[in-house]
Amino acid sequence: MTFKEIIQSNKPVLVDFFAPWCGPCKMIAPVLKDVKQEIGDAVTIIKIDVDKNPQTAGEFQVSSIPTLILFKNGNQLWRQTGMVTKGALVSTLKQHTSQGL
């Protein structure tokens, strides 16, 4: 399945644009893991390495990392660059999911 196909999903998809050498990217990884445990399958979370996928990062104007973008049906619903807390992220995801989690 391609990235374009994944973000066209009817289920919200949270994309983490990161790089393995990025300090803040490493700090956000456990936050995303905790968020996934809390919200389960209501949202799909995927990671995109900007070094391996520069075209995808460029297409979505990702110039700083980490950048989180929430998609649903191919539309960008929310975007955050930099660190985000688990609570803020869960709250944002709940706003954008049809089930309300």
Distance, CA of 34 to CA of 53 (rounded, Å):
25
Catalytic residue among 7, 25, 62, 93: 25
- 25 is a catalytic site residue: yes
**Which strand (E) or helix (H) includes residue 87?**
helix 86-95
Q: Strand pairing partners for 48?
A: 17
The count of C-alpha atoms lying within 13 angstroms of the C-alpha of 58, restricted to the half-sphere facing its C-beta, is 5
d(CA 69, CA 23): 19
Of 22, 42, 77, 84, the active-site residue reads: 22
Strand, helix or coil for residue 6: helix
Which amino acids are annotated catalytic? 22, 25
